[in-house]
Amino acid sequence: MNLRLTTCALTALLLSACASGPRIDTSYRSENQDSRVLFLVLHYTVGNFESALKTLTTGGKVSSHYLVRDDPVVTYRLVEESQRAWHAGPSYWRGHANLNPSSIGIEIVNPGRQVAADGTVSYVPFSQKQIDAVLALSKDIVLRHQIRPERILGHSDIQPQTKQDPGPMFPWKQFADAGLIAWPDAELVAARLPGYQAALPDVAWFQDQLARHGFGVPRHGELDAMTRNVIAAFQMKYRPAKYDGEPDAETAALLEVVNLPEGMKLSSTDPRGPAAQKPYTSRW
């Protein structure tokens, strides 16, 4: 009887210890730390709200931290920021692979890429109310995690072979105007354009510049489908009026400028004064 009581008491003690865990003193806190979150990645859903919500919350191995609905515009948190969401896939950006553990993902309800019966490809615009919600959410995330401008990306930046989102209709320039990302200096682009119109660099140059910017891109000097996909991803962001994947003069000028130390400008968001732009150099 005593043995049974002793066994029960020990079992209860062990269960209690497992339930409460060890006693931790939190009196001290190191100042030598920062957020694990390095990247913010933007997506569109390729579907309506109901289908997106089902995909992102059930057993399909796909999720995102946030979902921004289109009508009515509502922002939903589906995964806590402290947890890893499964949104980035087999991704790469500037030496960083598999971005799921180090990123926050925002899915924006939008049909995305549309292919007509005749093969014509088009994209559906985002409403300004929805973009305003995404901007507000992004500013909050960036402020809390101190995410740098060069690490705010689209899914097509980090997975250009299979993804086009958030697509050419996504207003990246509004993100630049809001001070969230840097933007190519238009005067520098215009100054370099005539030189590239006179003599276009070879494919190896384009591949090198794309890799310097951050993309995972072939480096064999051939204009294959993979290289075109990466060029198109770059064009969708910085020249959305034409994203055919062709290595043309304007794309060359943009690529040179985004890789120049003084080539990018970051807008000031100081509410106390007029909007201003200052040179911005990426820090990795």
CA–CA dist 200, 115 (Å, integer): 32
Burial tier of 73 (Cβ tally within 10 Å: 0-12, 13-18, 19+):
middle
What is the 8-class DSSP label of residue 31?
S
Catalytic annotation, pick one of 31, 50, 81, 107: 107
Q: Note if 250 is an active site residue.
A: no
* Alpha helices, DSSP H, located in the chain: 2-20, 49-57, 128-145, 155-158, 172-177, 186-198, 203-213, 225-238, 249-259
**Helices 225-238 + 249-259 axis angle, to 10:** 70
CA–CA separation, 189 and 182 (whole Å): 14
CA atoms lying within 13 Å on the CB side of residue 44: 26
- Round to whole Å and give the CA distance between 7 and 2: 9
Q: Two tokens at 263? A: 């080539």
User: Which residues are catalytically annotated?
Assistant: 107
